[in-house]
Structure 1
Amino acid sequence: MTRIDAKFAALKAEGKKAFVSYVMAGDPDYATSLEIVKALPKAGVDIIELGLPFTDPMADGPTIQLAGQRALDAGQTLQSTLDLAAEFRKEDDTTPIVLMGYYNPIYSRGVDKFLADAKEAGIDGLIVVDLPPEEDDELCIPAQKAGLNFIRLATPTTDEKRLPTVLQNTSGFVYYVSVTGITGSAEAQAGNVGPEVARIKAATDLPVIVGFGINTPEAAENIASVADGCVVGSAIVKEIGEGKSVEEVSAFVASLADGAHRA
């Protein structure tokens, strides 16, 4: 059982929905980013998604693209991202960390080395948005064998024919992208999301977490009420990009977490 599996089991026992937060590793710099990540569990975050900065983030909107660029400009690398996770783990051995990014940096490092290093650093799961299920032998299956969850995205365009393929080797949870397009591009609507979540849950026992288009405590509550939880990324990254203090970012994250936990 991974930390992700354990977290969902604990939340289910408490009758609570999951609140997942995304931040870009190294944004605006390594030291501040580490402080922010360390503060997330205290703000009510159940699972941390840690963005791996990349030069060509095709699934991300301007907010997260800019965060990645700030991180790269400050010298953030795959290694320093793993170092950040390892540093976090010195104080917190229970909050799951999902590394979210693109395949190129992983491929460059070498899959076997990356998986060993990620496991040692305390990473629990991977979301690699540019590797389709047809490429599962490349990273997904080796990751599962190494004890890491491989989390797949489902979208409004994932039809009945495609869904079984998407779910086949997915573990940890299913990330449902509530809107078509890039991150931060539109607001999620519970009325649209609910039936889609039900459709996915009919095909898997995994928790379904909804992300994209959630930027207020009310939206977090509404979306979490029709799913197993929600993810907020762009809205938090925007606060960091505006130069808010760690305390201000934490307070904003806490308001979102409270919303999700009210669901």
Structure 2
Amino acid sequence: MHSSFSLEDKVIIVTGATGVLGHSFVNGLAEAGAIVGVLGRNEAVANERAEEILKKGGKAIALIADVQNEAQLLAARDLVLKTYGRIDGLVNGAGGNRPDGILQPDENIFKLNVDGMKEVMDLNLWGTLLPTQVFGESLTENGGSIVNISSMSAQRALSKVMGYSLAKAAVDAYTRWFAVELANRYQDKVRMNAIAPGFFLTDQNRALLTKEDGGYTQRGQLVLNQTPFKRFGHPDELIGALIWLLSDASKFVTGTVVNVDGGFIVNSGV
């Protein structure tokens, strides 16, 4: 029996596929039957992850591109269309923080590193918008779904990460705005939603949240205190929401942000 959650033979592009969360994304989508476009800047890792999927009997293609480079994205799109003839889904997984986008507690709040903040904004906001511009129009032919990656910092004020917070709040606004415009033009044919992960250990935040001996830093412990589940998430725990949003099981869902956070957002701390 056909499942509405099936991604069988759907061609889905994943940006940021060479990162920690991206690794889980591409593997989870391949296991759900998708043909996965493994897109990232690191050619060796992209090829390795695509090959890993192929060895397991899945379908994948490595796509080498920077999400802020339109020419590279266009070349990746053309390769996908030449190889498979269509694109059915896009996961805007590329993003992250930068040291210059962080405001430390002892720094002057009126002496912000504006260039550093802009750099983080460019990566997260324009690195979401530009791939949508390049890959999204192909979805209008046969229908499809776009999933952006948001953050807890878009909804709650988290110390230090000002640039990242601004960027992800903008991604949420873009998700809602563009979802409405897609619907106005294509009705239910193309949808856009977002996933807001809670705290998952990645290469970028591991040193901020954990110690070398396996314990937690002060910031890590504060996060756990605010998280009712009292643990960090595992990247694979994002796959269920991702498959749902990309599949026909969510075909009446658009413009929403799905929290996958162990209860972080809803906890008052009292």
Question: TM-score by structure 2 length?
Answer: 0.34
Structure with greater contact order relative to length (CA < 8 Å, sep ≥ 6) = 1
Larger Rg: 2
